[in-house]
Structures are given as C-alpha cells and as structure tokens.
Structure 1
C-alpha cells in the first residue's frame, strides 16, 4: 500500500489544454464516435453543432438562408446572419467558454449555451476553416486538429454578412466513416420544420416549410392510413401535431429549442401523460393509456429558457421547468393540451368520432390477445431460464451505462453461422440469437402471431420490446444471414416481422444488416478481404500474379479467428433506413404478399442474362415466395434468351 501511495505524486496530476482534452475524451463532447451508420454518430453531431449556430442566428432574426455542401469527407456551412465579430473569430472556435450565448437577453432560447460545439468540431477535424463576413470586411483562420496554422489578415469583401465554416472530420478518430444521405436529409428537414420560413440548401436541394410540425407529420405519415386529419396546435413556446394510424406502436418526434431530442425527455413524458389525461376527460371514460396511445403519430416542439440536457449531445431533455419563474414542464404541457386539444375536439366532432373509434379498436385488439399473451409469456419465462437460442452478453442498452451504446445482438440462421459468431464475439457487448430455419412470413397477420409463434415470442423477449422500446436490451439488432437466395429470403422475413409489429425499431435506427466478405484474396505476405467483386479485382491487381482466392458461400465457412475481424472495430453494417417516402404497407405487400403481377414483372425485368440455358426451376426460385410461406425471395435466373421468352416458356 505504501508503494502505491509513493507513486501518486504531483507528477501524476495532469492538466490538458482544451484541444487535447476533446481529442482524448471526444465522447464527452459529441457522444459516440461511430462510422456514420447510425443517425446519432459523431460525424452528424459535428454537422449539427455548426448548423445550430446558424439556426440560432436565424431565430434571432438574422438570415433566412443557410447553404450546406457535404461531399464524401468535407462539410461546408454558410449562413447569412450577422457574422462573428471579426476580432473574436479565432477565440470563438478555439477557446472553451467563449461565445455570444451567455447573455440570456440575446439568446434566451438557444440550443447551444456552453460555447463548446464548434471547438469540438475544430479539435476533431484534420482541417477546419472559419471565415466571418461583416459590414464589408472579412476575417479568416485555418486550423488542423484544433491547432491554428494560418491567421489571415482582415480584408475588404463584397460578400453579404454571415459566417462560413468548413471542416473535414479526422479519419483517425472517426474510422472508416461515411455520410449517409438519408440521415442528413432527415436532419435538414427537421431544421426546416422547426424554423418555418428558413430555407436550407443542401447539395442543390431546397428544404423549406411553411407550416412547421404539420408539414413534418404529413411527410412522416401516409394520408391514406391517417384515421383523421392531422391536429395542429400552436401556442407560446409550444407546438404539437397529432394523428392516429393503423400501425402498431407509438411514434413521436420531440424537439427543444430546435434540437431533435431523439431520446425524448421531460417534455415528451409530459406530452404522453397529458394526451391520455385530456382524452379521458373529453370522452369521460377511463381508457387504458396504451389504448389511447396505440398507433399515435405525434410531434411536439417546445422553447425553454436555459434548457438542461442529460448529455452534451442534447438528445434527452432533463429540465423540469420551462422558465426561471418555476413553471413545471408537466404543468405547462398539460395546461396547453387540456385547453387547445379539448377545444379542437369540441369544434371538430368528426375528428373526435374517428379518434374514439381508433381507441375502441385498440381496446378490442388488446383484449383479443390477452389470453394467448399470458400463456406465451409463461412459456417464454420458462424458456428464458435455459434458452438455447440466445447466447446473451453482459452489457445491455437498457443498463444506460458507458458501454450501453456498444451492445448488439446478431440474429443468425442455423448452428454453423451462430457457432462462428459465438466463438469470436465480445461476450461483454455482443449477443447471438439463433434461428431454427426460415421464420414464418407474418405479412397480413395480427399481433397474435407474435405470441402464438414460439420463435417470434422468444425473439421478442430476448429484445425486451413487448411493451415498447424503453427497455430495449440491445442498441443494434443485426441480421446476420448468408448472402445467397435463402439468406436474402430470411432477411426479408425478419424485416417483415419488425416492420409489421415493431416499426419503431426500424424508425429509430436499431436494425442493421451485417456485411461479411464475399472473397479472401491472399499471397504469402498479405491477406485482403473483399466485400464486392470490384474490391476483389483491386485486391488481385494489388497482390500480383495468381493470388489464392477463396469465395465464402456462407458465414459458417469463415473460421472464428477470421470472423473476429469482421465483427470487431472494423465491423461493416448496412442500416435499414425508413425515409419519408417509405410506405410500409406497400413495401411488404410487394415483397411478402401473395404473388402479384407487379412482383412477377419486376423479377422478369431484372433477370440477369449470362448463360445459354435456363436452370431448372430458376423462375420458381426467383419468385420463391408462394412456396416459402408465400413470401418473395431475391433469387435470379440467368439465361441468354430474352426475358419475355423465358417468361413465356
């Protein structure tokens, strides 16, 4: 013990400057790092931190346009606000606790309040440039990983007022990163919906909204599935939009001071509670809360003075009050809904009637599955004690600890694939669930099947999603199947299950496809794993004449030692993304419904032409859904005859 104390000296205490601290502990400033495959990965937080400053300028009444350009590894953001005061251009992006938002009179309801955002972007970029245009003068500075490398002198300019920031995320911090356009698209649409009248131009596309959250819900829902027209309510510092659909689950979009709070917080909890309370009082019936909120799609945005978030990335609001005078968030939201929603339903009896019918339908559906649900849960409870399908990990997403974001579960087909993953996985954060074979095609079935089908019921319990996503056990649900016809079919069947009964899992970015190499190309000195034929060709060219080439036909063929490299730090995941244009019912009907002419024609039009003869049963394999639980697989037939000739044959 004495030796330990002797080693703890003044030299053990270190002081890091702002740049070193951000680079050593980036998670404190931007959350998780990631490679861009998740919407909350660090590279998107960097973009948000820079754009937030431009949004705050717009909120203060300066600048009605923001120009954004994002290429593979470079981001440019130009606003037309007041521009940073020229004498403080360098300080604003390189000195912690330096900014213009500490004066609550100037930025009472701003998103960024602590002066850290752009400093973190600067420190975590291999190149960072800031330039201010102000009253005919301009000032520019350039940095590398937070270090000032060029301080340009002030100069005259004809450019309009505003600020330009350019940065390139550091590839040593964000390994193998790439920007996914759909995530950026959602990010910029949210800015537009929350700032009616602001125009954002991103890579040539314009993002603009006149009607705020009404436009958001119209974009996120299909008018045909809405049970009644969207209810849109606005007040001082609060705006909500509400409708109900026919889907399972609840869908919410919550915002604070223009910040998309993906994990909700006190404002969303208050809204969910107030919605049930207001509806119960309006109909004078003590409905079950779950029946009122089943199939709801809502958005809520509030403006709060000095908001308190639970992390620097501001994804969950912790504020209990909305202003310094002590009005609680719960009271503020409840009072607003109690008056405005109640008034709306009285003025629109047809909407009140449609809402009432939707609640009664949810009540019937809940009671209909109550019996089978109880029996299934008892079976699952017994199975969980010795569930051979699940090889669990030690850290779970619901633990809410430092490693919770790393938790993931691989859903595999058969014992060989699950065996390879099980032997090579990280038992702390990686779980494995093994399927018996092809799961049931559940398209068009009711939620009863989740409890009646033993495999689905065990999967639901493994994920812990029966009552919503609040206690989801794994941050990432990864479908790990072979890249052949059968593997693709299983992917479709699993996606059908999630989209049909748990669409929130997909909407919230929890479902992924595992990408594994198709080829191994090696010589005596080097081994290269290739995920596409193009990568294979490059590897052959790089390694020289006659390298050894192995084609992996299934996950079970990859040895555990090799597999460790594909599910570790360099894991490649393809996220399942639902865009505003995604219509779940149409997609499932096309791929998984009974054989339709649309699907037949699609298969025929996309057959590959390579060989002289049509393989026996090729068209059957291509359509492959009627015989396999009436779902479609992604097989193709290869022939030299014309497509229409083959179809006729």
Structure 2
C-alpha cells in the first residue's frame, strides 16, 4: 500500500511571499480574531474600533488629552482625540508599515495595551476607506487609504485646530458581510475605558461618559445582584481592586490588563481568585473555610498594569505573562502581596463588614454541607451515565482543551424531543457540535436551592456534560445553544433553561456563553432565474451547487413574516412556501446548512444590571400568576393577518 502513495512535488515554486496587507486580508483571524457582522461582542468590527481607541487612550495615560470623541454613522467610524498627534514625518510609516510605532522600544509606553505597531495597520488593511488626520504644533496633515493602498498624502499646512489625531474608517463589507455596530456593545466598551481611566471623558454619538470611582462604578453598574456590604476598593500605582458579595450563586469577576478587558482572564485573574480566598481564609483563621465557600456570590474586579504584557492572541483577551515585567515580581506574588496587606488590614479595621462577609461565607458553607450526601450520589450517577449517556451526543473538540484547534467553535445544542434531536444530530459537525436531548419540559428551578441540580437527573447530567459544577473554568463548549421550537411550548422551555442558568450558573450568561438558536419559520423556493433583486440579503440562501446549477431552485429561509414577504417579492409570487411548525420538520440536509459556522443564526442571552435579574425571575417564573395575567392582558397584541 505504501508503494502506491503519490509523492507531491515540492520546490522553490511552491513558496509565496505576501505583502503585509495581503497577509492581514488573507488571514484576518491572526490579527482580529473572527470577522463576523457585529452580532457578537467579539466580532472583528469591534476589535477594529478598539485598536483605534487604544491609541487615543495611550495618549490620555501619558497626560495628553482628556477627551475622546467617537461617532458611528451608517457603518463609518470616526475617533478624534486631543493628544499630541502622530509626528507628521512618520504618519505614513505609522499607518502603513508593519511593526512601526512609538511603543515598540519606548519607556513612555511600557505599560501600553498595543506594543507591536500592528493594530492600526490591521484597521487600514481591513477597511475600504481609511483616513488619518493629524494636528500638531499649529500644523496639519492627512493620509487616505483604501484596503491599505495609499490614495492621498497631503502636504503639511497651517492649522489652528487643537492638537490630536482623527481616524476615520469604514470596514470592508466584502469581508465583514452586512456588518452593523450594535450600540449596546459599543457603549459597554466605552464604559470600560472610562472606568479604567478616571478623569477621561468619551463622547459617543453625542452622549458623554465619565467615571469618578473607577472600578467601583463598574461593579455598581454591572453586578447582577445587590451588594451585601459596601464595595471594598483598593488602588495603587499598578493595581486596582474592588470586592463585595451578593446573594447569588457563582462568581462574578471582571479583569483588565493595561486597560484591556481580558474577558478570558489569564494569570492575573487566577492569581486574584487564589489570593483573595487565601487572604480571607487566613483572616478567619479559627475556621477552616473552603475557597469555594469564600468566593461563592463574590463580585469583584481587578485591573493591573504590566510592562510589555504577553497576551495569548492579537485580540488580547487572555493574559499569558507570568511576571510584572523584566526583573519584576511574578504576577501571582504581586497580586498576593497587595491583597494580603490591603484586604487583611481592611477587614481588621471594618469589623461590621467582616461580620457580614462571615455570615455570607457560613451560609454558603452550610448549603454545601447540606448537599454533600446528594452531591456524592449524583456525581456517582453522572459518572456511570456518562459512559452510556443517551442524552448527550458529544463532539471531539472541546473548549477546555488547551491543545484544541479553534476551540471557540465548540457548541452544544440543547434540544427537546426526538425528532429535533435527530435532525440536529445527523446534520451537525461531529468535531465541534454536540447535542444534549431533553425529554419534555425541564423543572422550573426558580426559588429552589442548588440541591435540585443534583436531585434532578436532567439538570445533573446537563451540569456534568458542560463540566461546570466547580465553575466555568472547565467549560467544555464555548457556546451553549438552546434549540427549541418557536411555538409556545418551545418558548416556555427556553425560559425554564435560562432560569436554570441564571439561578445556578450565572457566569455562563455573564461571560456570553448562552445563546438561543434562531430557526426559520418559512422556506421560500423559486427558480433561480426569477430572482429580481440580486442584492437581497435579509435572509439566507441555499448554497447547493451542481453541474447544472442554473436548473436548481433558489431557497431563501425566512425568520419572520416580513422576511417572507421580501422573499416572495424577490423570487416571484409563484414561489413555493413551506411553513416550519417545529425543528423536527426541518430535514437533516437543511439543518446541516443552517447550523454551519457561516450560516448559524444565534441570539445571545445577556445579563445587564438594569434588568434586575432577581426581580425578572420573580415576576416571570415566580408564584405571582395574577400579576402575570394582568401584564399579558395589558400588553396583548393581535396579528391582523391572523384575523
């Protein structure tokens, strides 16, 4: 058999050298993560925005410019700062020569977010329009590009404008298909900047944002439970920490490095979690508390400044540095020593707060011990069932595997009913997509203790499948996707599952891991030649191809009544329309296309402080049926087409 293998030629002709801009455009994932259209917070258009704002933030950190103006209008982004302005003689180099920047070998920017001079060039390469204007020392200059190709470089001319830099760009819609910036994500980004830079004002589309209390304001605005005691706040040159407890399950931690929101944590967050629990345990030295009991219900944030930080990717969402800088202490020692001194002293001085904290920890300890028996039995049961768990059809790549390729693609679909589970199971990508099948409606867990997670077989098996019993650090799937029918029963199951996650594993939602699968309500089919609007983009087309492709019908999947009408208008009144009543009616070949990485349509489940989660769950899932009935009657609308 070996003798029959064909040897592929390999010579100098096989080598290709790409220019820097071609490399970015061909491999954008290496520079900005995924592309996306703006639906998700980690889509590339937000990374482009952040790369530009980071440069303005660095100017503020250096004491130049306390105001940044940001506007986004019909996909065009403009960022104007009042810093020192890029030196005009280096304007072209700074915007179009890779690894060129003032931060690479400069003490002035040793604790900057962007160190390698790549970010602004990536924005240039991935934008169809890119313009940088500089005002400096009573002069101005402008450069204009398209996809990194220089179109114009003006001469230096006099100007009375205040010093600073303005960057204007339009992401390339050929790469970022049908992209749109979501205000909620941009505002969250802006707020994180002002929390970390007290004294800075950012004006976004006319609304001004600033912060006086730094990370304490972040916690007040974001934590989804009410604090049991006033927020503990410590701040020094290279570190800022805030801590409190709520009555919620789980841990709610936010972490930052040099102003970068490290959503996936890293060495600094690991050091903080360990140090804060150890310091509190040592303070209550007469009691041998578990770290899990100490951190249960804790809401906290940490921000540190590291010299030349090492991140695990260009998008900088996880810190890899083990040291604070050359010849500096380790991150673990720096964070540990700071908390040991500040938090221990604080708890000794503020006896009323240490007493409330003690009561919370003891409450968590009592609940854990009360569950110990049922927990042990449930673990044994889940271990046995995991060997032949008929509810789970696992995938081969997992999110918690450090050696996994593209772990962000890992997903688990939570389905209800055999037909829906069967369609998804037979059409999924077995490498990255798992399926967990429910039998009927899950239990309404609102108001119940965590004991129900272990006593209820489905909840226990789901917890085991996700590997989240001890926290989400070991989460096996990046996306937990609720895949139910769009009818009343399906909606009810969605609510029950979301209630379960919000009650017992809120970190799953906080960290953006929970989604609802949007499935089409209609399929509109017409001969391809009947398409009247070539630019139709509000729905999804079938990508089936064959040798005689022109004879195949074009299929458009519609997710609403309005999209169906658009499809009929585009494909012709004689189009064939199919109404999907449930997931089970979508065939496996159709599902295979709808859940590909390119086509899958997911709606993220998000937690916001203003939602007041406990009140929402009490209203929608509690025992206040008359109140809900009044609400439904007062807000009832009737679809005229159904009359």
* 1:193–1:438 Cα change, 3 Å: same
User: Which deviates more, 205-214 or 168-177?
Assistant: 168-177
Per the alignment, residue 246 of structure 1 pairs with 247
After superposition, give the CA deviation of every residue in 1:278-332 in whole Å (9 maximum; x if it has no partner): 1122121331111111111101111111111122111111222213233121221
Partner of 1:489: 492
Aligned to 2:589: 561
* Counterpart contact for 2:415–2:484, Cα < 8 Å: yes
Residue 615 of structure 1: aligned partner: none
The CA RMSD over aligned residues, in Å, is 1.9
Post-superposition offset of 1:108: 2.2
**1:182–1:579 CA contact under 8 A, matched in 2:** no
> Which residue of structure 2 aligns with residue 531 of structure 1?
559
Q: Is the 8 A contact 2:194 2:210 kept in 1?
A: yes
TM-score scaled by length of structure 2: 0.92
- Residue range with higher mean Cα deviation, 410-419 or 143-152: 143-152
Instruction: Say if 1:31 and 1:609 are closer, same or farther in 2 by CA, change over 3 A.
Output: closer
The question of whether the paired residues in 2 share the 8 Å contact of 1:108 and 1:306 is answered with yes
The worse-fitting range, judged by mean Cα deviation, of 212-221 and 142-151 is: 142-151
Deviations 1:230-268 (A, max 9, x none): 000112211100001111111111111111111111111
Q: Which runs of 4+ in 1 moved over 4 A?
A: 1-6
Q: TM-score, normalised by structure 1?
A: 0.91
Partner of 2:59: 57
Q: CA deviation at 1:488?
A: 0.7
Secondary structure, aligned partner of 1:523: strand
Secondary structure of the residue aligned to 1:399 is: coil
- 1:581 is paired with a residue whose SS is helix
Check whether the contact 1:522–1:548 (CA below 8 A) recurs between aligned residues. yes
> Retained in 1: the 8 A contact 2:399–2:477?
yes
Q: Are 1:437 and 2:405 an aligned pair?
A: no
Q: Conserved in 1, the CA contact under 8 Å of 2:223 and 2:252?
A: no
Indicate yes or no: 2:579 matched with 1:576. Answer: no
Residues 157 and 598 (structure 1), Cα distance of their counterparts in 2 relative to 1, 3 Å cut: farther
* 1:514-559 CA-partner distances (Å, limit 9, x unpaired): 1111111222333221111111111121222332222111111111
In structure 2, the residue matched to 1:8 is 10
Does the Cα contact within 8 Å between 2:132 and 2:142 map onto a contact in 1?
Answer: yes
1:618 corresponding residue in structure 2 = none
Deviates more, 1:74-83 or 1:28-37: 28-37
Aligned to 1:465: 468
Q: Which residue of 2 aligns with 1:602?
A: 631
Aligned residue number for residue 550 of structure 1: 578
Partner of 1:237: 238
Q: Aligned equivalents of 1:536 and 1:559: distance in 2?
A: 19
> CA offset at residue 176 of structure 1?
4.2
Hey, what does 1:585 align to over in structure 2? 614
* In structure 2, C-alpha distance between the alignment counterparts of 1:373 and 1:110, rounded to whole Å: 46
Query: 1:73 corresponds to which residue?
Result: 75
Alignment of structure 1 residues 6-405 onto 2, 5 Å: 7-221=9-223, 225-284=226-285, 285-400=287-402, 401-405=404-408
Residue 520 of structure 2 contacts residue 558 of structure 2 at CA under 8 Å; is this kept in 1?
Answer: yes
In the other structure, the counterpart of 2:515 is 512
Size of the aligned set, in residue pairs, is: 613
Q: 1:448 aligns with which of 426, 448, 451?
A: 451
SS at match of 1:473: coil
How far the C-alpha of 1:159 sits from its partner, in A, is 2.3
Task: Determine the C-alpha separation between the residues in 2 that align with 1:385 and 1:438.
Answer: 24
Which consecutive unaligned segments of at least 5 residues does structure 1 have? 613-637, 640-649
Q: Is the 8 A contact 2:281 2:291 kept in 1?
A: no
Asked whether the 8 Å contact 1:182–1:577 carries over to 2, the reply is no
CA gap 1:140/1:211 in 2 versus in 1, 3 angstroms: same
Deviation track 1:181-202 (CA, whole Å, cap 9, x = no partner) reads 2222221111010000101111
Q: Is the 8 A contact 1:258 1:301 kept in 2?
A: yes
**Equivalent pair of 2:31/2:315 in contact (CA under 8 Å):** yes
Instruction: Report how far residue 474 of structure 1 moved.
Output: 0.7
Q: Which residue of 2 aligns with 1:498?
A: 501
Distance in structure 1 (CA, Å) of the matches to 2:198 and 2:627: 40
Deviations 1:124-174 (A, max 9, x none): 122211111222322212222222223333333332211111222223323
- SS state of the match for residue 107, structure 2? coil
What is the distance in 2 between the residues matched to 1:72 and 1:438? 43
Taking the aligned partners of 2:237 and 2:39, their CA distance within structure 1 comes to 37
